[in-house]
Amino acid sequence: MDQLSDDELDHAAEEDSDKEDQDLDKMFGAWLGELDKLTKSLDDGKPEKLRKAPLRQETNLANFSYRFSMYNINEALNQGDPVDLDALMADLCSIEQELSSIGKPNSGTSRLPPPGEAKLRQRPPAGHSVSGHGRPLASNFSLDDITAQLEQASLSMDEAAQQSSAGAVSDHEVRSLGRSPRSSINSASAGSMDSLDMEKPPRPPEVDGLQQPAPQLPSQDTIAVCLQEEQAAKLKAEKIRVALEKIKEAQVKKLVIRVHMSDESSKTMMVDERQTVRQVLDSLLDKSHCGYSPDWSLVETITELQMERIFEDHENLVENLLNWTRDSHNKLMFTERIEKYALFKNPQNYLLGRKETSEMADRNKEALLEECFCGSSVSVPEMEGVLWLKEDGKKSWKKRYFLLRASGIYYVPKGKAKASRDLVCFLQLDHVNVYHGQDYRSKYKAPTDYCLALKHPQIQKKSQYIKYLCCDDVRTLHQWVNGIRIAKYGKQLYMNYQEAMKRTEAAYDWSSLSSSSIKSGSSSSSLPESHSNHSTQSDSGVSDSTCSSHARSQSVVSSIFSEAWKRGTQMEESSKVRVSP
């Protein structure tokens, strides 16, 4: 199997697709072997390849992502863990199917050659002469090609549209849209194929999705000309929209990742670069059948630096993972973390800048959140106090008075009062993320174990550009970390939470169909996992805030205040009585 050339591999894949159920493991092995070989050859043959396509090396990130994911797979295999091969297999199968569907037009039996092909052949020399460097441009190559196809497609669509009636149009739209998911996958895989295989001329997969229906359109000329023109315009708009989607999807990167579960096992799955952390979490939750709770998190652990961070739901997972180095020992964990949304469950402990934890009525919590996050600007909690700062490149920690503002973290210089004008900017938050430090007492001789670190996400090794802060107690630590999150992400954070709560609610609605016992108020009882794993911070807010929606909070605020003014006016009236003799 290892001796197979790339083309042969395609054929093998094609054959396999006919008898899909057989030998999946074998095929998987072949795939891995092939990928491995390719990556090796890319590494080894670098200078040689460079002469052929030096630009590709620089620009093609897909290449990198495959190498990167290879590491994960190998690691998984080497460790001999019971890897969840089935899930991965499903993903690979879909790729394989795509490959075969690309392979078929290549053999050129029934279909016409795509009209764009002629252009395709001429394009590279054209680019050649423009660049004047004598280098074929692999990465642009396929995109040029796609755009050429699109132009072609649009022409034929226009023609078709002019003859078509309304009914035919909608029919056509449905069909072309219905097809788009498949062809988009095709295009994605075509992109990655190109990156792995230079010799093979890139295929334009969009062609069958867009062009095929065009000639089939029946012509029933019953509608006025103006209407037809309108239709044509609409059609064109629709087509352009579809085309745009495809252009975007053609460049989609995919990554095979290994996710560590809280019970020491791990799952391997494929993510594409458009997926947010929330989407990945959702699919993990679907697969792992664990109880739904908003606390499920993806946690990035940077082993070398002993720090970790919970990915925010709106973040892009692939983008973050690409910051890892190739030989990284970083881990991605799928686990429940109460601190992810503790901020929203007990906002009074984070937003009011108080020293002590306290209880608050739920409606007041909602009012507080509403006030903090739903105004025209997000108010950053007033965090200030003495923290320990690790001196650059030294082992010592020094005390400084820090303040958090929306524009960054500041400290009070020696001998000055804490007036805004005298503050010194310690750090602006645009480019850094906030991490929890682990066991810095022994690693960096920190005064306490409640440490946080601020660094650019790309930094993976010890560096003077990582800032370490140490708090006196765990409460201060959580307040600072959440304060920084609010300053950095603002309203987005609250939207993430609301989205997570919405899913939780939906999950409950669904489960209540099967077991009608769960009622809205008592949902905490159905959440045993969420409490068993975590010892700290009992969160009484979970159950109630689970069921509250944003819409409700609106009315709550106003009712609070209408109550307030009622009382106020009552008092005024009483005072009136007192005043007027």
Partner 1 sequence: MPVVKNDPQNRRHISDYNVRGKIVVVRLCLCLAEMKKDWSDHALWWEQKQQWLLRPAWTLDKCGIHADARLTFTPQHKPLRLGLPNGMTVRLRACFSGPTFRTVMGICKLLSMRHPEELSLLRPVEEKKKKKDKEAQEEVYDLTGVPLTSGADEMYRHAALCLSGSVPNLYNGMPAHFADSPQTEAVYKMLSISQPPPAPEVIAKMYRPASVVDKAHIHSRWLDSSRSLMQQGIQENDRLWLRFKYYTFHELEPKYDAVRLTQLYEQARWAILLEDIDCTEEEMMLFGALQYHINKVSQSEPQAMMSCPAMDDLDSALQSLEVKMEGESSSMDMLLTSPSISASRPKRLTLKGYKQYWFVFKDASISYFKSKEEGFGEPIQKMDLKGCEVAGDVNVAGQKFCIKLLIPSPEGMNEVYLRCENEQQYSRWMAACRLAAKGKSLADSSFSSEVKNIQAFLSMQHSNPGAASAQNDENINTHSLVSPRYHKKYKPKQLTPRILEAYQNVAQLSLTDAILRFLQIWQALPDFGVSFFVVRFKGSRKDEVLGIAPNRLIRIDLGVGDVVKTWRYNNMRQWNVNWDIRQVAIEFDGNVNIAFGCVTADCKIVHEYIGGYIFMSTRSREQSDTLNEELFHKLTGGHEAL
Residues 333-352 that bind partner 1 (CB under 8 A): 352
Nearer to partner 1, 286 or 392 (CB): 392
**Could you say whether residue 281 binds partner 1 (CB under 8 A)?**
no
Min dist CB 402 to partner 1, Å, is: 13
How far apart, in whole angstroms, are the C-alpha atoms of residue 126 and residue 119?
A: 10
Helix (H, G, I), strand (E, B) or coil at 549: coil
Applying the rule CB under 8 A, the residues between 219 and 248 that interact with partner 1 are 237, 240-241, 243-244, 247
Count of beta carbons in the 10 Å neighbourhood of residue 566: 10
Sign of CA dihedral 357, 360, 364, 367: positive
Q: How far apart are CA 452 and CA 431, in angstroms?
A: 16
Instruction: Choose, by CB under 8 A, the member of 428, 525, 538, 549 that binds partner 1.
Output: 428
- Rounded CA-CA distance 372/368 in Å is 6
Binders in 525-554 for partner 1, by CB under 8 A? 554
Q: Smaller CB distance to partner 1: residue 1 or 50?
A: 50
- Residues touching partner 1: how many (CB under 8 A)? 78
Query: Could you give the CA distance from residue 358 to residue 349 in angstroms, rounded to a whole number?
Result: 7
Give least dist CB 172 to partner 1, A. Answer: 18
Check residue 143 for interaction with partner 1 (CB under 8 A). Answer: yes
- Under the binding rule (CB under 8 A), the answer on residue 407 touching partner 1 is yes
Of 33, 127, 291, 447, the one binding partner 1 (CB under 8 A) is 127
Considering the complex, state which of residue 13 and residue 454 has its C-beta at the smaller distance from partner 1.
454
What residues between 288 and 307 interact with partner 1 by CB under 8 A?
none
Cα angle value 489/491/492 (rounded, 5°): 60
Query: Which two three-digit tokens encode residue 183?
Result: 């062809």
> Please, which of residues 37-96 interact with partner 1 by CB under 8 A?
50, 58-59
In the complex, least distance from residue 564 CB atom to partner 1, rounded to whole angstroms: 6
Q: What minimum distance in Å lies between the beta carbon of 44 and partner 1?
A: 17
Q: Which is nearer to partner 1, 245 or 449 (CB)?
A: 245
Tell me the closest approach of the beta carbon of residue 573 to partner 1, in angstroms. 9
- Residues 217, 229: Cα–Cα separation, whole Å: 16
- Minimum separation from the CB atom of position 403 to partner 1 (A): 8
Exposed/middle/buried for residue 294 (C-beta within 10 Å: 0-12, 13-18, 19+): buried
Neighbouring-strand partners of residue 84: none
Listed residue (194, 11, 189, 12) closest to 94, CA to CA: 189
Which is closer to partner 1, CB of 147 or CB of 293?
147
User: CA-CA distance, 104 to 208, in Å (whole number)?
Assistant: 12
Strand (E) or helix (H) holding 176: helix 166-196
Tell me the helix, strand and coil percentages in the chain, rounded to 5.
55, 10, 30
Residues in region 145-184 near partner 1 by CB under 8 A: 147
Site stretch for partner 1 (CB under 8 A), options 132-140, 277-285, 291-299, 530-538: 132-140
Q: Are 300 and 309 in contact (CB under 8 A)?
A: yes
Q: Point out which span in 84-92, 108-116, 510-518, 565-573 binds partner 1 (CB under 8 A).
A: 565-573
Which residues ranging from 441 to 500 are in contact with partner 1 (CB under 8 A)? 456-466
- Contact predicate 371/300, CB 8 Å: no
Shortest CB 131 distance to partner 1, Å: 6
Least gap, CB of 310 to partner 1 (angstroms)? 21
Where are the alpha helices (H) located in 322-432, listed in sequence order? Answer: 342-345, 348-351, 362-373
DSSP letter, residue 53: -
CB of 459 to partner 1, least distance (A): 6
Minimum distance from CB of 496 to partner 1 (Å)?
20
